[in-house]
Structure formats: C-alpha cells, structure tokens
A and B are shown apart, each in its own frame.
Chain A
C-alpha cells in the first residue's frame, strides 16, 4: 500500500510569508503527527491529530497550526515565517496511538530566506 505522502518536497519562502504543508497518511491510519527536524534541535513534536481533532500539541508558538480533514489528510500552516523555521517538516501516521510504530513521510524541506 502507498506510504505517507508529503507535498511539496521542497519549498523556499521569504521571511514574513506563510506556508501550508500537506500530508496524506497511509490508508486506514487515522492519526497524523507532525515533527520539525533541524540539525541543532533534532526531531521536535509539533502536534497530533486523530479523527479531525488535535489530540496533543508540542511547545511551539501559535504561528504553527494544523488541521485534519475527514479523509485523515492533514495540513500544517506556519504564518509569519522566520529564518529559524527553516527545517525538514516530517509527517507520521499510525493506526491508533502509535504503539505499533509510526510511518514517516519523506518530509518537506522548508527554507526561509
């Protein structure tokens, strides 16, 4: 079956702009989590959605938001981009609470200039 699909793969934005990233989970997976990966901070949890509800949120400013649609696809949005938002944004899906492991997408590489 198809894996987790993230679009776009690469993105260059200017400081102050906003960006929307998309994630399509594995068919049947209702949980979608988002992570930010940077060389200095590693993998940082952003938020998790399950059945269109945000179930958990990491320690990120309100500029970072997300949502999940009825088909489990998820989007995350970052407003008023800062240079420090440059990172690899990873989406992961799981069937439920993730005990069986999360499947990650290849990520969206965001560069803010």
Chain B
C-alpha cells in the first residue's frame, strides 16, 4: 500500500532554518511534491522532485533520495507568514493498474514560526 510519514508539528523562530522530513512507501513512484496550506486556504504548490538531489526555489529547497524513499523540505530565513501546514505528496499510480498518476498526500506538518 501507500504511506507517507512526516512530523505532525514543527516550531521555529523567525530567521531560522527548518527542515521537514518525509518518508514514503508507494508503488509506481514518479516524484515527490510539497504543498503549503494556510488555515482556511487552498493548498499551493511549492516544489516537485522527480530525480535525486536538491531543487532550490528562493527560500525553499526540496530534496529527494529515491533509494532511501526519503525527501525533505528546507525553509530558510523563516518569516511569520511561513506559519502553515506543509504536505509532502507522492505522485504515483495509486490503486490504478494503468499509467494514470495521482497525488497521495502525507498527513501534513504544522509549522509555527515564533517572533
């Protein structure tokens, strides 16, 4: 079956660096995505890793190791507005036997940034 593990809560102070880890078990893995969701808002796409290595987008970076079924999201120079839930999501075949792909989400990490 499919499963993703990520910490439920992380707390850090403004200006700090925080890393949110994600481990996964899935079949037909295509890539790992990260989404941010503020309370009452829609999830917004942050990054996608299909290959091993680090992808950097501004203050956010995402890493993937396919051999370890592991990835992380790194947030630098934390700001108060970064307080939100962060979801890792694997792009895989799900329960389909075909080539269609879907996103399976982890349970989310609530990041609290303190002043």
Contacts and interface: CB of A to CB of B under 8 A. Distances in A.
B104 A45 contact: yes
Contact of A56 (B35, B42, B45, B96): B96
Nearest to B107: A42
A70 interface: no
A43 interface: yes
Q: Chain A, interface size: which category? A: 20 to 34
Contact of A104 (B42, B98, B104): B42
B43 A48 contact: no
A107 B102 contact: no
A63 interface: no
Interface of B: 30-31, 33, 35, 41-45, 48, 50, 87, 89, 91, 93-96, 98, 100-108
5 contacts: A45-B94, A56-B94, A92-B43, A104-B43, A106-B42
Interface of A: 4, 33, 35, 42-45, 48, 50, 55-59, 90, 92, 97-107
